Amino acid sequence: MKKYWPSAVMLAIFETVAVTLWLTKDNIFYLFNFSYIGLSISFGVFLFIRKYKHARRIVQLLVGLYMLVYLGLICNENMQIEGFWYYLFTGVFEAATIHYAVAKIFGPLIFGRGWCGYACWTAMVLDFLPYKAPEYPRKKIGWIRYITFAASLVFVAALFLAKAGNMERIMFWAFIIGNLVYYGVGIALAFAFHDNRAFCKYICPITVFLKPMSYFSLLRIKCDKDKCISCGKCKRVCPMNVDVTDNSRKRANGTECILCMECARSCPKDAL
């Protein structure tokens, strides 16, 4: 049973957040929300410990579908970056702002880009595509993320400046259209660049938060140099082009690691 403690710890962390938010904000939604996410992640860790091949994909579907369908479509909560700006401007510290604070701004200091590997509903679809490991070298077009980041901010600021009516409705439609655009662009780029995660690497505005915060991440994949035979397998299977054999924080594409564990799984010497 001892080997399952990470699964229990994960559940305990999320339950602590769930109960704290429930009691401080006097809203039982937080108990349900974070308990569900905690149970999903804890179940995924349990499957991972049992070496189940699709553990990560199961968590991704459990959490991603919940966010997209339940929170986004049923509860009308815009969980995309526009929703974050919107709730931030209105001074409402509710689901979208809490979600960003936990998963994408402060959480990455602990679990890096675990969000990108285990919960994002955009990547949940992109990971079904055929190019699991990139077939070509990385392109130098990552600057596009700053344009999409600025565009999301300008869009929401413009709505406020124009004093647009029925903002809740506009944000709901922005969520639907935004997701369709993300999926369309993400799938087109994956096929154009033979890389499922091309959208994550070059376009996604959320990486403007995720990358600098995950630089300091507590959870990192490290290489045991005494075991490593420099076969290069780990780099070939990495969907994010991380130079995982370099243990420094400045390693090539270090802030891109999504903790998918493909490298560790493929290492013939258990060096990762």
Q: At closest approach, how far in Å is the CB of 257 from ligand SF4?
A: 3
Q: At closest approach, how far in Å is the CB of 263 from ligand SF4?
A: 3
Name the DSSP class of 1: -
Nearer to ligand SF4, 156 or 242 (CB): 242
**Cα→Cα distances 77→95, 175, 245, Å:** 8, 8, 41
Distance CA 64, CA 135 (A): 26
Burial status of residue 137 (CB atoms within 10 A of its CB: 0-12, 13-18, 19 or more): exposed
Nearer to ligand SF4, 137 or 232 (CB): 232
Q: At closest approach, how far in Å is the CB of 103 from ligand SF4?
A: 9
Nearer to ligand SF4, 169 or 227 (CB): 227
Q: At closest approach, how far in Å is the CB of 68 from ligand SF4?
A: 11
Residue 155 contacts residue 78 (beta carbons within 8 Å): no
232: amino acid identity, one letter: G
Q: At closest approach, how far in Å is the CB of 240 from ligand SF4?
A: 4
Nearer to ligand SF4, 38 or 239 (CB): 239
Going by C-alpha positions, the residue among 190, 66, 184, 62 that lies closest to residue 118 is 62
CA terminus-to-terminus distance, the chain? 23
Q: At closest approach, how far in Å is the CB of 88 from ligand SF4?
A: 18
Nearer to ligand SF4, 22 or 223 (CB): 223
Nearer to ligand SF4, 22 or 205 (CB): 205
Nearer to ligand SF4, 31 or 66 (CB): 66
Catalog residues that contact ligand SF4 under the rule CB under 6 A: 116, 120, 122-123, 199-200, 204, 206-207, 221, 223, 228-234, 238-240, 242, 244-245, 257-263, 267-269, 271-272
Burial status of residue 171 (CB atoms within 10 A of its CB: 0-12, 13-18, 19 or more): buried
Q: At closest approach, how far in Å is the CB of 199 from ligand SF4?
A: 6
Kindly tell me the sign of the dihedral angle through the C-alpha atoms of 24, 26, 30, 32: positive
Q: What is the dihedral of CA 164, 91, 121, 6, to 10 degrees?
A: 180
Residue 196 contacts residue 129 (beta carbons within 8 Å): yes
Going by C-alpha positions, the residue among 236, 234, 259 that lies closest to residue 133 is 236
